Amino acid sequence: MTISRRCFLSASALAVAASSFPTPAIFGVERDKKLRVALVGCGWWGTNILNAALSSKTVEPVALVDVDRRQLATELANVKDKTGLEPKTFGDFREMLEQMKPDIVINATPDHWHALITIAACNAGAHVYVEKPICHTINEGIAMVKTARETNRTVQVGTHRRVSPHNQAAMEFLKSGKLGKIGHVRAFVNYPGGIGKKTPDVPIPEGLDWDFWCGPAPLLPYNPRMHPKGFRQFMEFANGQISDWGIHWLDQVLWWSQEEQYPKSVASSGGRFVLEDNSTWPDTQHVVYQFDKFDLVWEHRLYSGNPPEKHNIGIYFYGTHGVLHLGWLDGWSYYPNGTHKEPTEHGEPKLDKPDDQNIANLWADFIESIREGRRPIADIENGHRSTTLALLAVLSLKLGRGFVWDGQNQTIPNDPEAVKLLARTYRTPWKYPM
């Protein structure tokens, strides 16, 4: 798929552009009609999203899907308690799509399931709110964007920092030019922690369809570190810290860089140097992305914080006038360089409980974008660009070398060894999306 750079208007520019056109008050959906929503993946984050959706009073919960009956039972009790309604429960998303024909699917499954479920939901006529990272290998992401466009469905990605008030304020500050010329950006997540210890495999718990849980990924022995929540630490199901936490920050860099949506080259180093548990993601990783007008460095450590530098998480934008730190719980801060006499500036975050996020704002935009027939703020194409950045870094680490990235054609030129890693073999009977 070839996509011109000009297609990649920033999300906010798209939103502004959309709102500056006279749109009909209703676009295929009556404004007051509650949309029928199905949640696929009733775990930690799926519950957070559905709770925000229910609080918005924009949806009626009609179905819950999970391959673990224990998760389903907990979520059903939660929904009944909040709404008095009893959505139908399913173990297989395909049966749910066929029987319920929901208007909206929330896809909060582990990463290795995002592509197939999103594509099936769009093909069944549903709009989709899919969690980040949007996929496990880059070609899945290409197929997801293609399907969203071909089916004309709205697909919002859970990168809620695009609607967080302090992130928006920091973007305005960056756009104002107060930093001067910016040539270098550094994004990072560094957590202090121990070395961990190995957890043995155990029999599959009652109520969990482990074969279905593994789905298109390899069928590994069940380990309680993997499910619930722990899949992100295993490379068969996810891609480590850079695609779990990192994608939020890489997404912010692409939001800032607007017209520059892909690097020309990528090189990563790192590995498992410290952790001794049975997870498989790199505990140390550094990546250099070369863009036309700046370079971007990613760094993470899973065992050591950043005490001399103060901030453990976020992005530094380095400009000729000063440095801006964009963070999470610590908001954003501007530190002028010694030669510049402007005052230090700071913006506090405004985050929602639980888990200090802004899902409610992102959900509101999702519903409005469906009603208005416009692209949402965290559109699938933005999510695909940001996920691609994370996955390119993992690809470089696997190859043990850097490579040139042709972002326009979304391929690695003249490098068959690297191109192979843009996809992966699915376990039968699942078919890799084209």
Ligand X SMILES: NC(=O)c1ccc[n+]([C@@H]2O[C@H](COP(=O)([O-])OP(=O)(O)OC[C@H]3O[C@@H](n4cnc5c(N)ncnc54)[C@H](O)[C@@H]3O)[C@@H](O)[C@H]2O)c1
118 vs 396 by CB, closer to ligand X: 118
C-alpha dist (Å) from residue 432 to 113, 210, 415: 11, 20, 21
Q: What is the C-alpha to C-alpha distance for residues 256 and 127, in angstroms, rounded to an integer?
A: 27
* Residue 40 interacts with ligand X (CB under 6 A): yes or no: yes
Please select the residue that binds ligand X; options are 44, 221, 329, 401, rule is CB under 6 A.
44
* Residue 388 interacts with ligand X (CB under 6 A): yes or no: no
Stretch that binds ligand X, among 36-44, 163-171, 172-180, 345-353 (CB under 6 A): 36-44
Please select the residue that binds ligand X; options are 241, 284, 357, 396, rule is CB under 6 A.
357
Q: What is the C-alpha to C-alpha distance for residues 8 and 260, in angstroms, rounded to an integer?
A: 8
* Residue 140 interacts with ligand X (CB under 6 A): yes or no: no
Residue 358 · residue 351 · CB < 8 Å: yes
* Residue 365 interacts with ligand X (CB under 6 A): yes or no: no
341 vs 353 by CB, closer to ligand X: 353
DSSP 206: T
Residue 40 · residue 67 · CB < 8 Å: no
Q: How many CB atoms lie within 10 A of CB 425?
A: 8
193-212 residues in contact with ligand X (CB under 6 A) are: 212
Stretch that binds ligand X, among 108-116, 121-129, 193-201, 372-380 (CB under 6 A): 108-116
Stretch that binds ligand X, among 40-48, 166-174, 297-305, 414-422 (CB under 6 A): 40-48
Please select the residue that binds ligand X; options are 10, 58, 71, 241, rule is CB under 6 A.
71
* Residue 273 interacts with ligand X (CB under 6 A): yes or no: no
Q: How many CB atoms lie within 10 A of CB 273?
A: 10
Q: Could you tell me the two tokens for 163?
A: 């609607």
DSSP 220: P
Q: What is the C-alpha to C-alpha distance for residues 261 and 6, in angstroms, rounded to an integer?
A: 10
215-254 residues in contact with ligand X (CB under 6 A) are: 215, 227-229, 244
Strand 295-301 with 313-319, pairing: unpaired
For 247-264, b/e burial (b = at least 16 CB within 10 A) is: bbbbbbbbbbbeebbbbe
Q: Report the nearest approach of ligand X to the CB of residue 104 (Å).
A: 16
* Residue 129 interacts with ligand X (CB under 6 A): yes or no: no
Please select the residue that binds ligand X; options are 11, 14, 53, 65, rule is CB under 6 A.
65
**Helical ranges in 161-222 per DSSP H:** 165-175, 210-214
* Residue 109 interacts with ligand X (CB under 6 A): yes or no: yes
Contacts with ligand X, residue ranges (CB under 6 A): 40-46, 65-68, 71, 93, 108-111, 113, 131-132, 158, 160, 212-213, 215, 227-229, 244, 357
